[in-house]
A and B are shown apart, each in its own frame.
Chain A
């Protein structure tokens, strides 16, 4: 994807597909953000984005060779009647680069990818207590959708 021209308080980044060499950085950044290393999970996402680039999206924002953030999502269809839509299920930005619109540019880029793939809606699922990330998505226009997430302890 092309280099984006941005405002002065916005980091100038190039956003493009994830590369094999990004994997250890993504695992490290996610571990830093969540406290739980999940190398196998990120490996599966990376492989999925490479084998099904029309359906799986995994993008990295870079500036002058430095990795600043990533976003991952995919197009899902017909889960309980839901028409095809883009799902975002991970976003991470290096702490030193936050508040410089890196997340916004990643969000815009994945939405552009979804649009190009023919879907007109984007969804995500956030823990209720994750106020900052929920505020981020709200600030980008996301509202509650028509589906409700339900769960159950299997040993209940």
Chain B
């Protein structure tokens, strides 16, 4: 599954802010850590602010902080602010859907959508941070390239 860019920005921002609840972070700090566009991230943060998930404060030392409930907010809640993850059979109709093969295809794709929804809705921000703590950083791209050529 590939998430849209804005969705990935939002997930990284929420996870970063929720992992450091004692600090306010600027869009630039978050963008720098995840190699994101600061402008794009600022727009995403505004959407998160309107949804009541982050708060912004201006001035010296200002920035964003997470103000949601990390044990209640799940990944689907965040993803759906930026892209639709349709419940089975509720996506926009597509050409061929009315045929028998189209219906069969919808049924199989529905399985995948249902599994996706169930996974995203069962993982809270708090759980995601636990998964993250158990996970190693991947080697940076240039380090992988250097290792591949024996440098």
Q: Which residues of A contact B122 (CB under 8 A)?
A: 131, 134-135, 138
How many angstroms between the C-alpha atoms of A144 and B115 in the bound complex? 10
- Chain B, residue nearest A133 (CB): B122
B130 interfacial contact with A, CB 8 Å: yes
B71-112 to A contact mask, C-beta < 8 Å, 1/0: 100100000000000000000000000000000000000000
B55 interfacial contact with A, CB 8 Å: no
How many angstroms between the C-alpha atoms of A88 and B50 in the bound complex? 41
Q: What is the size, in residues, of chain A's interface with B at 8 Å between Cβ atoms?
A: 10
Q: Is the CB of A139 within 8 A of B119?
A: no
Which residue of the partner chain, among A131, A139, A144, contacts B121 with CB atoms under 8 Å? A131
Q: Is the CB of A139 within 8 A of B118?
A: no
How many angstroms between the C-alpha atoms of A129 and B115 in the bound complex? 10
Q: Which residues of B contact A81 (CB under 8 A)?
A: none
- Chain A, residue nearest B117 (CB): A128
Q: Which residues of B contact A139 (CB under 8 A)?
A: 71, 124, 126-127, 130
B123 interfacial contact with A, CB 8 Å: yes
A134-146 to B contact mask, C-beta < 8 Å, 1/0: 1100110101100
How many angstroms between the C-alpha atoms of A143 and B135 in the bound complex? 13
B114 interfacial contact with A, CB 8 Å: yes
Closest beta carbon of chain B to A113's beta carbon, Å: 23
Q: Is the CB of A135 within 8 A of B119?
A: no
Q: Is the CB of B115 within 8 A of A138?
A: no
Q: Is the CB of B118 within 8 A of A134?
A: yes
B49-81 to A contact mask, C-beta < 8 Å, 1/0: 000000000000000000000010010000000
Q: Which residues of A contact B115 (CB under 8 A)?
A: 128
Q: Which residues of A contact B74 (CB under 8 A)?
A: 131, 135
How many angstroms between the C-alpha atoms of A129 and B118 in the bound complex? 7
How many angstroms between the C-alpha atoms of A122 and B124 in the bound complex? 21
Within 8 A of A (CB), among B111-147: 114-115, 117-119, 121-124, 126-127, 130-131, 134
Q: Which residues of B contact A144 (CB under 8 A)?
A: 119
Q: Which residues of A contact B127 (CB under 8 A)?
A: 135, 138-139
Interface residues of B (CB under 8 A from A): 71, 74, 114-115, 117-119, 121-124, 126-127, 130-131, 134
Excluding A128-B118, A138-B122, A138-B127, 6 further A-B contacts by CB distance (< 8 Å) are A129-B118, A135-B122, A135-B123, A139-B71, A139-B126, A141-B134
Pull 30 A–B residue pairs with CB atoms less than 8 Å apart, ordered by A.
A128-B114, A128-B115, A128-B117, A128-B118, A129-B118, A131-B74, A131-B118, A131-B121, A131-B122, A134-B118, A134-B122, A135-B74, A135-B121, A135-B122, A135-B123, A135-B124, A135-B127, A138-B122, A138-B123, A138-B124, A138-B127, A139-B71, A139-B124, A139-B126, A139-B127, A139-B130, A141-B130, A141-B134, A143-B131, A144-B119
